[in-house]
Chain A
Amino acid sequence: MVAPPPAPLRRRVRTAGRGWVWAAALLPTAAVTAVVVAFPLARLVWAALLAPAASLAGIAASLPPLLHTVAVVAVSTPLALALGLGLALVCRHRTGAAGAAMRLGVLLPLLVPPFVSAFAWVQAYGAAGLTDHVAHLVLPGLFGPVGVVLLLAVNAAPFPFATVSAALAAGRTRRLEEAAQASGATPLQVFTTVTLPLLRPALAAGAVLAAVGAASDFGIPAVLGMPGGFTTLTTAIYADLSFSATSGSFSAAIAQALLLCLLVAPAVSALGRLADAPAAPDGGAVALRRGRAPWGAALVWVYIAVASGLPLLATLLVALTRAYGLAPVPANWSAAHFQAAVTGDNLLALGHSVGLALAAALACCVLGAAVAVLARSSRAGRVLQAVVALPFALPGSVIAIAAILAWNRPLHGTLTLIGLAYAARFWTLAERPIGAALGGLSPSRLRAARAAGAGPFAAWRTAWWPALAPAFAAAGLLTFVQAFHELTISSLLYGPGSTTIAVAVLSAEQAGDVGTTAALAVLLAVISLAAAIPLVGGRRASAWTGMS
């Protein structure tokens, strides 16, 4: 029963009607891509090629940070992988509100900006921190490689957690395990011979995401590494650009940015291959089954408390307590730190961040939709799609350096420069959910509406838009959250009149103003969480692959 091929008439009508719409969308999108993404990245490569002697010297000077970054990635990635896998296995069969709360708790480190997490860990487990106050417990080596690795692992664990959870949730996995069980395999045999091999692609994808995240992160080594002199590539770039402004330090930063690129490039290309691998088809609904370890949930909650709960609580207490060092009891509480956090320069920084995040969300939704539509209809569109995906895969420091090289002359230290870099970085983040929603729409939906008598616009509005609207909402929220608490790029690009809230927090932290830092961190975390919870509550948790 082979259906006859579609009538040639329809095809002719389609392309004829589309020709000019097409060019009208392709040309401006390509132009924006060139300005925002392609030109800055080309300038970066060009700069490195132009000054080989300087970049060689830069590479020699950046050997220690390079080795540190490699070591940190090599240790934190397996840790994150083990954490993510274990957490996903325990959370697997937990449904209902308790299960949702547990998943949200595990994903918390993804929603709280990394430098806030790092600061919060210091407040919880550092000297004079919460556990020190209560039980005289201090995490040894918090300021240095141990702390950086631990927190990077905790911070990256949501990636393997999300990929593994998605693979486990595919109804087919459960079916295949049942088949093994019916064949006489013990639970351990089922796990080693069926579950783990089925999870291999998800684990690989999670590992790559975790490794790229760990290599690119700036906030955690900035808060936990820099004070103890433990420098990674990202903090080295920051030091080059912030603490000295010679041409030598700038070429060192360029060299380090390129090294960072080279470091994550194999991982990113591996991820592209993994994404192309065919996914196992989905089976039916999964019924509730036996085999939930009762202690599993307790372990997960302990993990959530240690990784996120206690640190955030400690930060809140510090923000509430009148002076640093006083006992965090209600008698010593005051709102002074919060008042300081929302006045003067800090308020201005908050305004900058909200404005930047709103502009980035709006721009990325429009640009993302344009690329998503083009990628589905033409080869040129697919090229654009690949190009705009680059800045998100590359570390933020690299994007910032590229933006400086390309547009520093007219835009030095302006919000526009930061906004351009944000548009480049988060473009693909908005494109992905919109593209996925478009891909799930069959043309027959639109045709059915047209056949039923709806005009072109009415058909689009009634048959397609309701399915696209959630994707646009997700794209906008995702971009907003990421841009709102973005630190890596803005810390390298800000000028006197363009401080972002994240930079304000980092400055307050580096100035030793713990109370105000804590209050700002609480504000930042609360706003980020409020914007992000609808994302996680919805089914788009797996689309969450944000990196700062």
Chain B
Amino acid sequence: MSLECRGLAVRVGERLVLERLDLAVAPGEMVALLGASGAGKSTLLNALAGFLPVEAGEILCDGRLVAGDGVWVPPERRRIGVVFQDYALWPHMGARQIVAYPLTVRGTARPEAYSRADAWLERVGLAGLGDRRPDQLSGGQQQRVGLARALIAEPRVLLCDEPTANLDAQLRGELPGQILAELRRSGAAGVYVTHDPGEAFSVGDRVAVLEGGHILQIAPPAEVYARPASHAVAVLTCPDSFLADGRMVRPEWVAGAAVDGDGLAATVADARFTGDGTLYSLDTDQGRLLAHVAGEPRWSAGAAVRCMIERAWRLA
């Protein structure tokens, strides 16, 4: 169960949003698509799902051509599951009916479809809520109904379109883990669209950074973070700072500042407590530097300090 696209080009209206895009996702793997709004993330997802026609190139599921080269398999025959940003739950159905839908439209008898739907509702933590309509469920519950619906028919590809964008902070932390766990169990190829770098790093086996319809870099999260392929990638996976000689420094790469001793002389421009430490903005003769240091703020704006740059990445 793999997903692959080669030389993909997609047009939305008059605009060519994607151009010659290559991407391969292995079975059970989750690729996070990271990019600012307008980068083409949702367009790529819609093309993979079959909601948008392909201008050029091809999409293969399990090695089978589903789009391109004169072939176009409609969404309902691609064996996909989609988790939508706005949940997209049908307001006139109950949760059980919604989750069972992919089975009933494929001809499974209603009693069996409903009992499997109940099992899925229990699995995503919604046992007993099968009769509730979407407007009687919280945002997090709605999205878990959406997840169960996406997975019940054992899709080969799971597409997630910013599933946490409408959820509050706590659920935003829980849901991606739940999605990832289910993806591993199902063995489907997963694509997860997000504009939040933290979420992309935590959920993706690999992170694909998208800008202007091109993949700037695709690599494991740690690599994208530590060795961004370009200035644009570094900026999209912020926070970061750049030295005068063009090297990039992540905030954790700056070691505890001290008043005396060796290191770079700096003036504290700003100190903000983040809970797990303090984020300093430091003015040095190399330029503005961000430093994340454990503990409460020890210096306030205007203080003269010294800091050590333990690591830096020279951008190509």
B185 at interface by CB-CB < 8 Å: no
Give bound CA distance, A181 to B49, whole Å.
9
Q: Is the CB of B52 within 8 A of A180?
A: no
Q: Is the CB of B92 within 8 A of A185?
A: no
Report chain B residues within 8 Å CB of A180. 90, 101, 105
Give bound CA distance, A180 to B89, whole Å.
9
Report chain B residues within 8 Å CB of A181. 50-51, 74-76
If A183-B149, A289-B52 touch, does A178 touch B88 (CB 8 Å cutoff)? yes
Q: How far is the CB of B134 from chain A (nearest CB, A)?
A: 10
Closest to B12 in A: A287
A445 at interface by CB-CB < 8 Å: no
Give bound CA distance, A499 to B81, whole Å.
67
A467 at interface by CB-CB < 8 Å: no
Q: Is the CB of B81 within 8 A of A287?
A: no
Give bound CA distance, A287 to B46, whole Å.
10
Checking A185, A187, A288, A289 against B101 with a beta-carbon cut-off of 8 angstroms, the contacting residue is A185
Q: How far is the CB of B41 from chain A (nearest CB, A)?
A: 13
Give bound CA distance, A482 to B76, whole Å.
48
A179 at interface by CB-CB < 8 Å: yes
Report chain A residues within 8 Å CB of B106. 184
Q: How far is the CB of A199 from chain B (nearest CB, A)?
A: 11
Interface residues of B in 32-72 (CB under 8 A from A): 46, 49-53
If A182-B75, A186-B76 touch, does A194 touch B90 (CB 8 Å cutoff)? yes
Closest to A186 in B: B76
Q: Is the CB of A189 within 8 A of B75?
A: no
B261 at interface by CB-CB < 8 Å: no
Closest to A287 in B: B12
Closest to B88 in A: A179
Report chain A residues within 8 Å CB of B76. 181-186
Q: How far is the CB of A109 from chain B (nearest CB, A)?
A: 31
Binding site secondary structure of chain B = loop
Interface residues of B in 128-159 (CB under 8 A from A): 149-150, 153, 159
Which bucket holds chain A's interface residue count? 20 to 34
Interface flags for B1-14 (1: CB within 8 Å of A; 0: not) read 00000000000110
Q: Is the CB of A178 within 8 A of B75?
A: yes
Checking A175, A176, A184, A283 against B102 with a beta-carbon cut-off of 8 angstroms, the contacting residue is A184
Closest to A282 in B: B86
Q: How far is the CB of B156 from chain A (nearest CB, A)?
A: 12
Q: Is the CB of A175 within 8 A of B86?
A: yes
B266 at interface by CB-CB < 8 Å: no
If A184-B105, A287-B13 touch, does A179 touch B53 (CB 8 Å cutoff)? no
Q: How far is the CB of B37 from chain A (nearest CB, A)?
A: 11
A447 at interface by CB-CB < 8 Å: no
Q: Is the CB of B88 within 8 A of A175?
A: yes
Give bound CA distance, A194 to B139, whole Å.
21
Give bound CA distance, A484 to B101, whole Å.
53
Report chain A residues within 8 Å CB of B50. 181
B91 at interface by CB-CB < 8 Å: yes
Interface residues of A in 168-205 (CB under 8 A from B): 172, 175-176, 178-187, 189, 193-194, 197-198, 200
Q: How far is the CB of B273 from chain A (nearest CB, A)?
A: 18
If A183-B101, A183-B102, A184-B76 touch, does A176 touch B13 (CB 8 Å cutoff)? no
Q: Is the CB of B153 within 8 A of A289?
A: no
The residue among B13, B88, B102 with the most chain A CB atoms within 10 A of its own CB is B88
Checking A172, A186, A197, A280 against B105 with a beta-carbon cut-off of 8 angstroms, the contacting residue is A186
Closest to A189 in B: B105
Q: Is the CB of B84 within 8 A of A179?
A: yes
A290 at interface by CB-CB < 8 Å: yes
Report chain B residues within 8 Å CB of A182. 49, 75-76, 80-82, 150, 159
Q: Is the CB of A198 within 8 A of B102?
A: no
Closest to A172 in B: B86
Q: How far is the CB of B109 from chain A (nearest CB, A)?
A: 16
Closest to B82 in A: A182
Report chain A residues within 8 Å CB of B81. 182-183
Give bound CA distance, A185 to B103, whole Å.
9
Checking B74, B79, B82 against A179 with a beta-carbon cut-off of 8 angstroms, the contacting residue is B82
Report chain B residues within 8 Å CB of A198. 90-92
Q: Is the CB of A287 within 8 A of B52?
A: yes
Report chain B residues within 8 Å CB of A176. 88-91
Interface flags for A16-30 (1: CB within 8 Å of B; 0: not) read 000000000000000
Report chain A residues within 8 Å CB of B149. 179, 183
Q: Is the CB of B91 within 8 A of A289?
A: no
Give bound CA distance, A287 to B76, whole Å.
19
Closest to A200 in B: B92
Give bound CA distance, A447 to B200, whole Å.
40
Report chain A residues within 8 Å CB of B49. 178, 182
Give bound CA distance, A194 to B82, whole Å.
17
Q: Is the CB of B88 within 8 A of A280?
A: no
Closest to B97 in A: A193
Interface residues of A in 278-295 (CB under 8 A from B): 280, 283, 287-290
Give bound CA distance, A193 to B90, whole Å.
9
If A180-B105, A183-B153, A184-B106 touch, does A288 touch B13 (CB 8 Å cutoff)? yes
Give bound CA distance, A185 to B52, whole Å.
17
Give bound CA distance, A290 to B76, whole Å.
14
Closest to B51 in A: A178
Report chain A residues within 8 Å CB of B46. 287
Q: Is the CB of A290 within 8 A of B90?
A: no
Report chain B residues within 8 Å CB of A185. 76, 101, 105
Interface residues of A in 312-365 (CB under 8 A from B): none
Give bound CA distance, A186 to B78, whole Å.
12
Give bound CA distance, A388 to B153, whole Å.
55
Give bound CA distance, A185 to B150, whole Å.
13
Closest to B13 in A: A288
Q: Is the CB of B101 within 8 A of A175?
A: no
Q: How far is the CB of B235 from chain A (nearest CB, A)?
A: 25
Report chain B residues within 8 Å CB of A172. 86, 88
Give bound CA distance, A15 to B31, whole Å.
58
Interface residues of A in 146-186 (CB under 8 A from B): 172, 175-176, 178-186
Name 7 interchain pairs, CB-CB below 8 A, sorted by A.
Answer: A175-B88, A176-B91, A178-B82, A179-B88, A183-B81, A183-B105, A186-B76
Which are the 9 A-B pairs with shortest beta-carbon distances?
Answer: A179-B88, A183-B102, A182-B82, A185-B105, A181-B75, A197-B92, A175-B88, A184-B76, A189-B105
Known: A176-B88, A193-B105. 7 other contacts (CB 8 A): A179-B82, A181-B50, A181-B76, A182-B81, A184-B76, A198-B90, A200-B92
Which residues of A approach B to under 8 Å, CB–CB?
172, 175-176, 178-187, 189, 193-194, 197-198, 200, 280, 283, 287-290
